Amino acid sequence: MSSTETVTAGENRGENRDDEIASDNDELPVDEIFHILQNERRRMVLEYLQGTDESVRMRDVAEQVAAWENDTTVEELTSDQRQRVYIPLYQSHLPKLDKAGIIDYQQNRGVVERRPLARQLDYYLNADSNNSTSNDAGTKGADWDDYYIGAAGTGAVLLLGAFFELPLFSVITGIGLSALILLMFTTLTIGQYVR
């Protein structure tokens, strides 16, 4: 390696970045967040890194992303499947995340580490549970939808029963019925917010 090709450790770790690159304490503009997250592979990389605070091998990241893309396990990946993901991550996606200050990508060592700025993206990543390592997030979201649909159905039955003056429903006044329906939705909303 010639002297012109020598890279200092500080530049390699991303410590001497250009002025346009965000520091750990800066907030990313919303447009920049959406631009970064518009690519599914970058989202998958960030989801993988959510589970660790340590440096991970770029190869491990690429293998997991390839497995998610191909709906298989890392062990069952073919060489072509690995390579189709590895090259774009190596050449494009990881350098882009590094330049934005979201990860520390040491390309010559093949190491990736999540930086504190990545926490700003967690909210958006958790909203998209399609490729989550845990299916619990997706099923919990579906459960809340079911609860709201159930509450709406119950409210509709109560209203129809009161409208047609059915024996059980005629006991409840209009204000009492309104309060009951409002209480159902308020309870659901508070329960979802607390969770």
Using one digit for the tens of pLDDT, what is the confidence trace for 144-189?
A: 888 999 999 999 999 999 889 888 887 888 899 999 999 999 999 9
Q: Which residues pair with 56 in a beta bridge?
A: 112
CA atoms within 13 A on the CB side of 12: 11
C-alpha 174/C-alpha 10 separation (Å) is 70
Q: Which range (25-29, 103-107, 110-114) has the least confidence?
A: 25-29
Rounded to the nearest integer, the mean pLDDT of the chain is: 82
List the one residue out of 47, 87, 50, 88 whose CA is nearest residue 68: 47
123 pLDDT band, cuts 50/70/90, is: confident
C-alpha 67/C-alpha 63 separation (Å) is 6
Q: What are phi and psi of 28, to 5 degrees?
A: -75, 140
Q: Which two tokens stand for residue 106?
A: 């040491």
Q: What is the pTM of this model?
A: 0.55
